[in-house]
Structure 1
Amino acid sequence: MSFGGFGSAAVTPAASRAAADYDVPPDVPDSIQDIAWSPTANVLAAGSWDNHVRCWEVQQQGANFQAVARAQFAHKGPVLCTAFSGDGSTVFSGSCDKTAMMWQLGGNSQGQQIAQHDQPIRSIQHIAQANCVVTGSWDKTVKYWDTRSPQPQATVQLSDRVYALDVSYPLMVVATADKQIHCFDLKKPSQIYAVIVSCLIYISHLIIVLSAKLPNYQGISVGKFNKTGEIFAYATSYDWHKGVEHYNPQARNVIRLHHVDAADMTVKAKK
């Protein structure tokens, strides 16, 4: 592609590229907030604003997919986060109803409540090495849970509301609304060992051109790679960045699967 002037090279439109991706059936009735892949198989879970967690089994042959709905679970409020256990047998979810639930795939669809916060639960992860679940909430706390007990193993007070959390044992990082990143050594889970002030809020690391003339195309609300990196699942949903007046109830909320090939991951030579 040449950057010498507009129109100097043909570019495949984003809409055409997206059309080649696979739509996971059925569409979801409301915005899709989170996606999680099983660490052991091509099983996909999604949490959405219609209060539900949905699971699909994905069959893949090269760039061709078939997704079959396998389970559906209900919260009493919008679902903000999802995660799998290390063996892939269990789905965890956190909700605006201030609870986290545990669902056994192929088991009881009622699930089991495993956590409680004072505000919505924004992030959840299973820590297989510690045999516990960690939750991060808008009540400004991180809590660790043994799924057999209604009381947390430990509670850590943070500086602000939790908006993101990730674990790569023994490291856990938690991002809060005041632009701080709290770092934990999970061998000492009750102690924050470092706090980093994020500069990302002030610097543009990504820029995308979106056309206002394509009102039927939704923004991408979340995306995740499967365990091998061969499949990228992404959800198209309205993210409410323009407020309720721009909400289109006819627009689709759908998860799409993209086959990741060598061309996607190869660094292009500079011209």
Structure 2
Amino acid sequence: MSFGSRLGGFGANVSTLGNTTTSASGTLQDLQNDIVVNNIGDDSVSDIAFSPQAEFMAISNWDKKNRIFEITNNGQVEGRALYEHEGPIMSTRFTLDGTKVISGGADKQVKLFDLASQQAQTIGVHNDTIRVVRHVTCGPQNTPCVVSGSWDKTLRYWDTRQQTPICTLEMPERVYTMDASQKLLVVGTAERHVVIINLDNPDKIFKSSISPLKYQTRCIGCYPKGDGFAIGSIEGRCGIQYIDDMQQKQSGFSFKCQRVNKTTTKETNIYSLNSVVFNPQFGTFATAGSDGSFSFWDKDSRHRLKGYPQLGATIPVVNFNRTGMLFAYALSYDWSKGYEGNTPNYTNTVRIHVCKEDEVKPKPKRK
């Protein structure tokens, strides 16, 4: 990724893709063979992560447990490990070499779990809930480290061999979401602040701005090439953003998603966009949210590749595996309707959808 000098403000050319054309509409029958992951706990799912090196998956949960599964060659999902925090876990990821799992949560701790030894250790502490963790490479030497964002309004980098942070960056507000790709790290905070960091200089804020979306930021997903990111809000809207301001003027836009039109009236129910993730192979992306549906999109053609109907439960998080051909989605309560919505019989499951190429591969450009 190149951090050039031509950097303008967000929303320089934010168009609206109100009535997105649909290449294909999926059905519930298309999902009937999706793999169900058993034994994920009884409380809400907070995050899903895939290993970048093998077919392993981590599922973090509000029940304070992080569960690691292996997807076998015959399509079975088998439990391989489990470790606990002292509070609900909010975020999890694998290290880039795939040998360890990192996590952070309401106990204010960053934990590192070694898959070989099956041992967990605390490698970092914040002053408030840790909302999100990522494993990144920093500086010209590509030094691997863990980065954590917290409600204490800080971003901290950790060497896995010591419990004092390598450095701490003050954020403008509480960290709500964060993602990284290549040398790009993007942080979304309360009050719609967006902070961009060039990981070649991880101790400095490269650029700060305000989200192009009018309402609270819910999720961020970085492009595989590291040249931009998608940002989602509680208003069911997604913004496509580029680091270079010339590219932003040419290609940046926003569009509506996670909305349900009522058939009897002209009203539209608007739901939070909870998760936006990019396919590592094709560069397309998926959105999912509180309406209980997910869709696959091609940002370059501004086109929805495939959209699926509501699945009867909110979707707090989705993710692609390392090949981009497995897509995991959680059907689990996302607290969008407060504690009253968390009924004892609410669905709590994770499913894995085996993607077809026409769902996630960009369409050929028209001549």
TM-score, L = length of structure 2: 0.65
**Equivalent residue, structure 2, for 1:93:** 103
Q: What does 1:83-232 correspond to in 2, within 5 Å?
A: 83-109=93-119, 111-128=120-137, 129-202=142-215, 204=237, 205-209=256-260, 217-232=312-327
Specify whether residues 145 and 12 from structure 1 end up closer, same or farther in structure 2 by C-alpha distance, changes over 3 A only: closer
Aligned partner letter, 1:160: E
**Equivalent residue, structure 2, for 1:6:** none
Task: State the distance in 2 between where 1:123 and 1:237 align.
Answer: 19
Aligned partner letter, 1:112: Q
1:216 deviation in Å? Answer: 9.0
Check conservation: 1:27, 1:252, Cα contact below 8 A: no
> Cα RMSD over matched residues?
2.3
Specify whether residues 201 and 23 from structure 1 end up closer, same or farther in structure 2 by C-alpha distance, changes over 3 A only: farther
1:132 deviation in Å? Answer: 1.2
Check conservation: 2:40, 2:67, Cα contact below 8 A: no
Check conservation: 1:233, 1:258, Cα contact below 8 A: yes
**Equivalent residue, structure 2, for 1:69:** 79
**Secondary structure class of the residue paired with 1:256:** strand
Q: Is the deviation greater in 253-262 or in 20-29?
A: 20-29
Check conservation: 1:216, 1:251, Cα contact below 8 A: no
Check conservation: 1:235, 1:253, Cα contact below 8 A: yes
Which string of whole-angstrom CA distances, capped at 9 and with x for unpartnered residues, describes residues 114-171 of structure 1? Answer: 0100001111111242221111001000001111111111001010011111122322
Task: State the distance in 2 between where 1:11 and 1:191 align.
Answer: 44
Q: Is the deviation greater in 126-135 or in 196-205?
A: 196-205
Aligned partner letter, 1:82: T
* Residue segments in structure 2 that go unaligned for 5+ positions in a row: 1-23, 216-234, 238-255, 261-290, 293-309
Query: Is 1:234–2:334 an aligned residue pair?
Result: no
Which string of whole-angstrom CA distances, capped at 9 and with x for unpartnered residues, describes residues 15-49 of structure 1? Answer: 43333311011242100000110000110001100
1:265 deviation in Å? Answer: 2.5
TM-score, L = length of structure 1: 0.86
**Equivalent residue, structure 2, for 1:7:** none
Task: State the distance in 1 between where 2:26 and 2:94 align.
Answer: 36
**Equivalent residue, structure 1, for 2:269:** none
Check conservation: 2:46, 2:61, Cα contact below 8 A: yes
Q: What does 1:242-261 correspond to in 2, within 5 Å?
A: 242-261=337-356
Check conservation: 1:222, 1:234, Cα contact below 8 A: yes
1:11 deviation in Å? Answer: 6.6
Check conservation: 1:32, 1:47, Cα contact below 8 A: yes
**Matched positions, count:** 253
Task: State the distance in 1 between where 2:110 and 2:40 align.
Answer: 24
1:189 deviation in Å? Answer: 1.2
Task: State the distance in 2 between where 1:11 and 1:46 align.
Answer: 28
Which string of whole-angstrom CA distances, capped at 9 and with x for unpartnered residues, describes residues 85-113 of structure 1? Answer: 1110100000100001000013134x110
Identity, % of aligned pairs?
A: 37
Task: State the distance in 1 between where 2:26 and 2:57 align.
Answer: 29
Check conservation: 1:43, 1:57, Cα contact below 8 A: yes
* Residue segments in structure 1 that go unaligned for 5+ positions in a row: 1-9
> Of the candidates 55, 64, 68, which is equivalent to residue 55 of structure 1?
68
Check conservation: 2:45, 2:61, Cα contact below 8 A: yes
Which string of whole-angstrom CA distances, capped at 9 and with x for unpartnered residues, describes residues 61-95 of structure 1? Answer: 5xxx2100000111010000001111101000001
**Secondary structure class of the residue paired with 2:29:** helix
Aligned partner letter, 2:86: K
Task: State the distance in 2 between where 1:240 and 1:88 align.
Answer: 31
Specify whether residues 88 and 267 from structure 1 end up closer, same or farther in structure 2 by C-alpha distance, changes over 3 A only: closer
